Structure 1
């Protein structure tokens, strides 16, 4: 069975600032578990869509119950992030998927950043995630992961918000 998450977050910043902040959102105090990010590829399509692929390495930051320790031996999770930035249409779409620990669980996330139709100075992010475990007791793992994902989705938005505030007040040194 697959667990699903749907959520939205409104950033009180215009789309251009939010997309700029997306590229420099790590490190931030809300995402200390992100160890590294590396660009794998970046290309511009003939339709002027910037397509980027990055490798994110995240430290496993959740407690494992005693009974599950023999199944969960990894310390880091490797994630591929693929983004599509269409500056003409003002859409920015991010897909992330873990490619390690798939024998335990797979998490696929899609985030879409668009201009708020009611306020062009704001950006709406809609997120959805699909969480699946192939294990016999996978439903329990999926439920645990969904709860953790909801908490982390809020933290991710807070982290990007923190970066955007730094950019807005010119207190973001070394990146912009």
Structure 2
């Protein structure tokens, strides 16, 4: 059985700022388990004018105990992220999915960032950065939908669904394990989304106070390890821990 998790959240920043922070969100003190980010592809669709970006994130950390029972040796995971930026309609659509141990637990997260229609319209120059050409609500709405699915033992279940005895009982038991794994993934995702929000808030604040050029320059000069030390040194760090 596939399980879903849905949530809605509003950042007190305009859409251009939140979209920028999304692509600069690593590293931050709430994502110290993210080791690296690589851009695999970036192009502008000649017809729609939308910007398409594909990135690969490497995460390290511990797995939830229920999942670790089946893949105890895995200490890292690759996450594929696909994003589409539509500046004409001010929409950022993202999809992230794990590339490893899909048979144990597949996690697919979809997010849509749009200006919050309930927020009052204002000039971006007073809320974000001088010279901005955007005029939109002073808040950004984020809708998140996550799908969890475990296929542990599914193939064998299909082959033995008509059988009786101990093998049938084992298959039924595996169904219970799959359900437990999916529930654990859902619980971990709730915590992960909250950490992600806190990390984004810090990145947004840094961008507002220090500016884009300075932040990007320092990231490139110091690299990931330097930035992680800076985040940890601030005493705000909350290690993401679990990879799911």
Fold match by TM threshold 0.5: yes
User: Over alpha carbons, which structure has the higher Rg?
Assistant: 2
Partner of 1:10: 10
- Answer 1 or 2: which has greater helix percent: 2
Query: Which whole-Å deviations, capped at 9, do the CAs of 1:100-129 have from their partners, x for residues lacking one?
Result: 111211000001100011220100111010
| Secondary structure, aligned partner of 2:30 | coil
C-alpha spacing 1:22/1:8, structure 2 compared with 1 (3 Å): same
Query: 2: CA distance between counterparts of 1:101 and 1:149?
Result: 16
CA RMSD between the two structures: 1.7
Give the match for residue 128 of structure 1.
145
Q: Are 1:159 and 2:199 matched, yes or no?
A: yes
Alignment TM-score, normalising by the size of structure 1: 0.93
1:45 aligned residue: 45
TM-score (norm 2): 0.68
Flag structure 1 segments of 5+ consecutive residues without an equivalent: none
Cα distance per residue 1:31-89 (max 9 Å; x no partner): 11111110000010021100010001111334425x95353321111110000000010
Runs of 5+ consecutive residues of structure 2 not aligned to the other structure: 120-136, 153-173, 218-244
Instruction: Determine if the alignment matches structure 1 residue 61 to structure 2 residue 62.
Output: yes
Paired position in structure 2 for 1:175: 216
Aligned residues: 175
Using the alignment, how far apart are the partners of 1:88 and 1:48 within structure 2? 8
Contact kept? 1:54, 1:82, Cα under 8 Å: yes
Q: Displaced runs of 4+ in structure 1, greater than 6 A?
A: none
